[in-house]
Structure 1
Amino acid sequence: MSDHCSPTFSDLATRLGFSCEDAGGLVEVRNPLALENWTLPVLEFTIVLGAVLALVYAILRLRRHGDPTNLVLWFGATAFLFVIEPPIYFPATFGTEDYLGTMFAHNVFTVDFLWGRLPLYIVAIYPLMATIAFEIVRMLGVFRKYGVLLGAVCVGFVHHAFYEIFDQLGPQLRWWEWTLDNKVNLPFFDSVPLPSVVVFAALWPMSLALCVQFFVGRHVDAGRRFSGLQLVWRTVVIGLTASVGVFVLPLPATVFGMGSDTVRGFLYAAELAVLSVVAVVVLARQWSHLRQEPSDAPGYRNGFAQWYAVVYLAVMAVLWMSALPDFFGAVDGMTTNGDPVGNLWYTIACFAVAILCVAATFTVPRGQSKDGGEPVSGESAVTQPA
């Protein structure tokens, strides 16, 4: 579809190793062994498998315990994807060319949609990451003790840690490439735009979690049962409302930093710092409280989220180790192959946070089911018709 091949996107595609003009159609399937490098199919398989398993768990959770929260979260994240991503991929078609321009280009993977714009793993990473972050916070009983807003803040923080491990590595391994002079991407934090570090890693999952818990989760925790039609319209509303949240939450940076990249970067960083401090305090207090008061521990335990988080971290550790020789050989932030490197120290910090959060879910006592979670003895959650 050559009419969608803007000069900027064509240039990014060429640097990633494929031709925009030859990039398939609505759907294209490629040989995974013929991709740019071996890390692409490994990443793709890990993320897609995790998303499928998260969906299976969500369906079983609804059927066995009458709890649709996971299913609404999964489809709400996917709905958010299809609201946010198309205008980014096709700014000329959606009339956002003057504001967004071409922000980045994904490399081509085994399965791609929309003329090489949307890899299948990107569709999958939204619900997978959201599920892992949301469930870690839910297993710690944060929503039940601290409410919807603070619970959502903690989800944003946890998601940020998991996502930045991936985000800081992608450009070096040619999973995607950013447009360096696009004003929407500025300022950069090494190889990653600071807006991506803050908005897509922390604020969008916070917005999604707030909407999921407000429209569905808190009602399920109170024992309410939803009909299929009620779940459908609430899921659509969640996807749309979470999208609005992505524009509202970063307003301090986008409005007051409009005339200066430095001011905008400072405000983005300040938002992330505030979110992180609040989340660390809440998560630490809640974990400590549950260790001291086992009788308050929630009964909910999501084994899939726990163990697949471990799998994800292990795979990302292997991928990062494979990238370290080129990383340490980089000069002025560029490898000998001309690929930008991320921030290793920030990644290590994110690994530490993610590992601690997962470990916390294994170390809290198992209590009685009080928040609509999966009871430890396997009995169904108590629900009642709306």
Structure 2
Amino acid sequence: MSAGCGPEVEAVTRGLGFDCHDVAPVVSVRAPWELAHWTMPLLEVLIIGGAVFAFVHAVRRYRAGDPVNLALWWTSLVYLFVTEPPLYFPEWFGLDRLYGFIFAHNQFTVQFMGDRLPLYIVAFYPVISQLAYELVRSLGIFARRGPVAGAVVVAFACQVFYEVFDQIGPQLKWWAWNPGNHIVNHPALASVPMTSMLLFASVSMAAMTYLVMRLAGGRARDGGPRRGWALVPRVLVAGVLTPPAMAIAGIPASLFGGDHPDTTAQAWVLGVELALVWLAGAWIVVAHLRSTGRGTDEPLSAFGRYYPAIYLCGLAVCWIGALPAYFGAHDGVTRDGTPIGSGPYALACFLAAGLLLAAQHAKRFARPAASVTG
């Protein structure tokens, strides 16, 4: 038996259409037209292209005197490599009793770590962090209300942009959750574990953004922005400290865990926390938009102007293609045997994301930005 390919892993990967015993240990490459679903190469182009766009934008900001975007881009990758390997191979880290086998990705064009880590997932971390940060920054919330309020709105923005992706993935076989894992994967909203919705889609990105703002966004001893190698240890520290922040947010629900978890109580706790993300984020945005002099010196970059809308349109195409099978599902499972996500919640996220973009594009600057441009 291949390392990391126990009975649960084997069952989940065979449901996705491949055998976890027959994988390349380091890297594998396959033709895009050989993938399990037509949306998969579209998703790869959307996310990998977005990561490149975000990197170019971050470098421009860095050269213009603002290192936060670039630091956040790299911190996202540090966070990825701190969190993803234990999720894929918990037995390697002695976490199999604590977390168990959680999920498996399908096979995409480029894959790493025994076909557990697709290249597009590597790209997704800097994409979602940059998308949310840039949206909040361009609204002037960081400049006017500080890093704490800005991080709260980042949590809200990440929630609505992430969940339009998270709620459709299992139906289209982008990945599959392990239904037998009652430690992490329950309770769930439709097919998506609520811990993933809260901790990964909101808390992690908010914590990471706050840490980067504090560690990399200040001034160096000479009074100028931090640059070069001085950013490296700060990026590493921010990436390593992000998972503990996630763990803190997960404590309330964990109080109802143990050998015999009360999933109903956990669902209520996680639901309340998710509601607080929505309410607090929306309240800060609305209060900011209603205030006077709201960050008129904040530029709207090319990345912020175009990519979030492109991202939403790309995911909308995937959802439209999935709707026939979604409406034809019985007991939450399509005729192809894949679980559906929550359409109402995804629709609410689409609407909220659209309103955030509308607020961003409705901004009118009193004068062109004098310093940093996108």
TM-score normalized with structure 2 length: 0.94
RMSD: 1.8
**Structure 1 moving runs of 4+ over 6 Å:** none
Q: How many residues align?
A: 369
Aligned to 2:141: 142
Give me the whole-angstrom Cα distance separating, in 2, the residues matched to 1:349 and 1:52: 28
Out of 361, 369, 372, the residue aligned to residue 376 of structure 1 is 369
Deviations 1:155-189 (A, max 9, x none): 01100000000000000000000011212111111
Q: What SS is found at the alignment partner of 1:20?
A: coil
Give me the whole-angstrom Cα distance separating, in 2, the residues matched to 1:17 and 1:93: 25
Give me the whole-angstrom Cα distance separating, in 2, the residues matched to 1:97 and 1:56: 39
Q: Which amino acid aligns with 1:154?
A: V
Please report how far the alpha carbon of residue 327 of structure 1 lies from its aligned counterpart in structure 2 after TM superposition: 0.5
Contact kept, 8 Å, 2:106 with 2:174, in 1: the verdict is yes
Structure 2 residue runs of 5 or longer lacking an equivalent are none
Give me the whole-angstrom Cα distance separating, in 1, the residues matched to 2:290 and 2:257: 39
Give me the whole-angstrom Cα distance separating, in 2, the residues matched to 1:223 and 1:11: 57
Q: What SS is found at the alignment partner of 1:332?
A: coil
Contact kept, 8 Å, 2:28 with 2:110, in 1: the verdict is yes
Aligned to 1:272: 274
Contact kept, 8 Å, 2:215 with 2:234, in 1: the verdict is yes
Please report how far the alpha carbon of residue 193 of structure 1 lies from its aligned counterpart in structure 2 after TM superposition: 0.7
Q: What SS is found at the alignment partner of 2:171?
A: coil
Q: What SS is found at the alignment partner of 1:2?
A: coil
- The percentage of counterpart residues that share the same residue type is 40
Please report how far the alpha carbon of residue 59 of structure 1 lies from its aligned counterpart in structure 2 after TM superposition: 1.2
Give me the whole-angstrom Cα distance separating, in 2, the residues matched to 1:380 and 1:143: 15
Give me the whole-angstrom Cα distance separating, in 2, the residues matched to 1:195 and 1:298: 38
Deviations 1:269-299 (A, max 9, x none): 111111211111100111222xxx3574233
Aligned to 2:120: 121
Give me the whole-angstrom Cα distance separating, in 2, the residues matched to 1:155 and 1:192: 21
Aligned to 1:298: 297
Give me the whole-angstrom Cα distance separating, in 1, the residues matched to 2:334 and 2:40: 18
Aligned to 1:372: none
Contact kept, 8 Å, 2:165 with 2:315, in 1: the verdict is yes
Change (3 A) 1:245 1:30: same
Change (3 A) 1:238 1:295: closer
Deviations 1:2-61 (A, max 9, x none): 122111111111110011111112111111100101111110111001001111111122
Give me the whole-angstrom Cα distance separating, in 2, the residues matched to 1:350 and 1:224: 39
Residue correspondence of structure 1 range 102-181 to structure 2 within 5 A: 102-181=101-180
Give me the whole-angstrom Cα distance separating, in 2, the residues matched to 1:359 and 1:54: 20
Give me the whole-angstrom Cα distance separating, in 2, the residues matched to 1:47 and 1:159: 15
Change (3 A) 1:334 1:47: same
Please report how far the alpha carbon of residue 144 of structure 1 lies from its aligned counterpart in structure 2 after TM superposition: 2.1
Q: Which amino acid aligns with 2:354?
A: I
Aligned to 1:310: 309
Structure 1 residue runs of 5 or longer lacking an equivalent are 369-374, 382-386
Deviations 1:56-100 (A, max 9, x none): 11112212x121111001001110010011001111111111011
Contact kept, 8 Å, 2:61 with 2:372, in 1: the verdict is no
Contact kept, 8 Å, 1:107 with 1:176, in 2: the verdict is yes
Residue correspondence of structure 1 range 234-273 to structure 2 within 5 A: 234-258=234-258, 259-273=261-275
Q: What SS is found at the alignment partner of 1:28?
A: strand
